[in-house]
Chains A and B, each alone.
Chain A
Amino acid sequence: GAVVSQHPSWVICKSGTSVKIECRSLDFQATTMFWYRQFPKQSLMLMATSNEGSKATYEQGVEKDKFLINHASLTLSTLTVTSAHPEDSSFYICSARADRGREQFFGPGTRLTVL
């Protein structure tokens, strides 16, 4: 299957700082990318859907000003957690899809710990 990478794989930051997570499709062009959050021992919760060149669509309850998503190219989407707080500590996973109806490929995830 296609490969999706995430960087960094883990990050520790101080409360109040901003953290950027990158999601890249390595061998295909991703028209749509998805961002998920997973708290310990819980399922993946969809945060937002981003299409290349347009604004992201956020799920209900997700603050768009806190979780900034940029999908500037067909191979890269970024998630910036602004003014991170300990409650934002979580496992963030992205996925990428080439075209509607085609398979999504998941990245390995980024573990964020906010002190």
Chain B
Amino acid sequence: SQQGEEDPQALSIQEGENATMNCSYKTSINNLQWYRQNSGRGLVHLILIRSNEREKHSGRLRVTLDTSKKSSSLLITASRAADTASYFCATDGGSSASKIIFGSGTRLSIRP
């Protein structure tokens, strides 16, 4: 089963612009993570934000979490061609289930 939806499903922007992807989920969480996946490859862990955190930064990445709205956003600043990939949010329930469930993903394309 999937935890929630990501928006937009696909995003195409010019190199150098910022890219924002949103994720909504359905149940309470312990933490939320963002992953990147290049076509046909494995997952790359980008960042983890805990349920008691509201914002987190890592390099060009900025993640926000709003537990009242059950939503998160990933901002990639000053995008590069190498950022072209699919991006997934994933939630960890933390309690009895404690399994990671992935969102539907956003396919990001950076135009040179």
Residues of A in contact with B (beta carbons under 8 Å apart):
1, 34, 36, 41-46, 49, 59-60, 91, 93, 95, 100-101, 103-104, 106-109, 111
Residues of chain B within 8 A (CB-CB) of A45 are 1-2, 102
Q: Identify 5 new A-B residue pairs, CB closer than 8 A, beyond the known A101-B94, A101-B98.
A: A46-B100, A46-B102, A49-B99, A59-B1, A60-B1
The answer to whether B1 touches A109 (Cβ under 8 A) is no
The answer to whether A95 touches B30 (Cβ under 8 A) is no
Residues of chain B within 8 A (CB-CB) of A103 are 45, 48
Within the complex, the shortest CB–CB distance from B48 to chain A, in Å, comes to 7
Known contacts A34-B99, A95-B100, A100-B98; is-contact A106 B45 (Cβ 8 Å) = yes
A42→B99 CA distance, assembly (Å) = 19
Does any Cβ of A come within 8 Å of B41's Cβ?
yes
Known contacts A95-B100, A101-B98, A103-B48; is-contact A43 B43 (Cβ 8 Å) = no
Near A by CB (< 8 A), chain B positions 68-112 give: 88, 92, 94, 98-105, 107
A41→B43 CA distance, assembly (Å) = 14
Known contacts A43-B88, A46-B1; is-contact A106 B105 (Cβ 8 Å) = no
Residues of chain B within 8 A (CB-CB) of A34 are 99-100
Known contacts A43-B104, A43-B105, A104-B100; is-contact A93 B2 (Cβ 8 Å) = no
The answer to whether A44 touches B42 (Cβ under 8 A) is no
Does any Cβ of A come within 8 Å of B40's Cβ?
yes
Within the complex, the shortest CB–CB distance from B21 to chain A, in Å, comes to 13
A47→B102 CA distance, assembly (Å) = 12
The answer to whether A108 touches B40 (Cβ under 8 A) is no
Known contacts A43-B102, A43-B103, A100-B98; is-contact A107 B1 (Cβ 8 Å) = no
Select one of B45, B48, B88, B94 contacting A44, CB under 8 A.
B88
- Please name the residue on chain B nearest to A59 by beta carbon: B1
Within the complex, the shortest CB–CB distance from A63 to chain B, in Å, comes to 16
Select one of A60, A95, A109 contacting B41, CB under 8 A.
A109
The answer to whether A93 touches B100 (Cβ under 8 A) is no
